[in-house]
Amino acid sequence: QQQVKQSPQSLIVQKGGISIINCAYENTAFDYFPWYQQFPGKGPALLIAIRPDVSEKKEGRFTISFNKSAKQFSLHIMDSQPGDSATYFCAAKTNTGTASKLTFGTGTRLQVTL
């Protein structure tokens, strides 16, 4: 099954709070898990990515937590700012030739309020 399930669909967080977005996958052949950020009228931009051989990756205020046995991964945005308001997509990919396309979750619309 080439499917990635993402939740919640939308999220409102106060400035300074922690935003948490969750994703689950089924295909155990996935070996690369990026998160993309999309602003209105723009294309998705790579935010941070992780491989399944590590359980956590942190870049600035953004952290991916990865649970291989549960086939779940999540994005944590610490100290959320109004400028973080955007739609976030998780994705997954295999690295096997013709199957190397990205499969996206359905997206989470994040709004950070003052």
Partner 1 sequence: NAGVMQNPRHLVRRRGQEARLRCSPMKGHSHVYWYRQLPEEGLKFMVYLQKENIIDESGMPKERFSAEFPKEGPSILRIQQVVRGDSAAYFCASSPPQGRGNSPLHFGNGTRLTVT
Q: List interacting residues with partner 1 (CB under 8 A).
A: 6, 31-32, 34, 36, 41-46, 49, 51, 89, 93, 95, 97-107
Least distance in Å: CB of 31 to partner 1? 8
Measured between alpha carbons, how far is 77 from 5 in angstroms, rounded to an integer? Answer: 19
CB of 16 to partner 1, least distance (A): 28
Nearest residue (CB) to partner 1, 18 versus 99: 99
**Interatomic CA distance for residues 14 and 94, integer angstroms:** 36
SS3 at position 10: strand
In three-state secondary structure terms, 3 is coil
Nearer to partner 1, 10 or 16 (CB): 10
The CA-to-CA distance between both ends of the chain, in Å, stands at: 40
Shortest distance (Å) from residue 56 CB to partner 1: 18
Rank residues 25 and 89 by Cβ distance to partner 1 and give the closer one: 89
Name 63's bridge partners. Answer: 58, 76
Closer to partner 1 by CB, 28 or 106: give it. 106
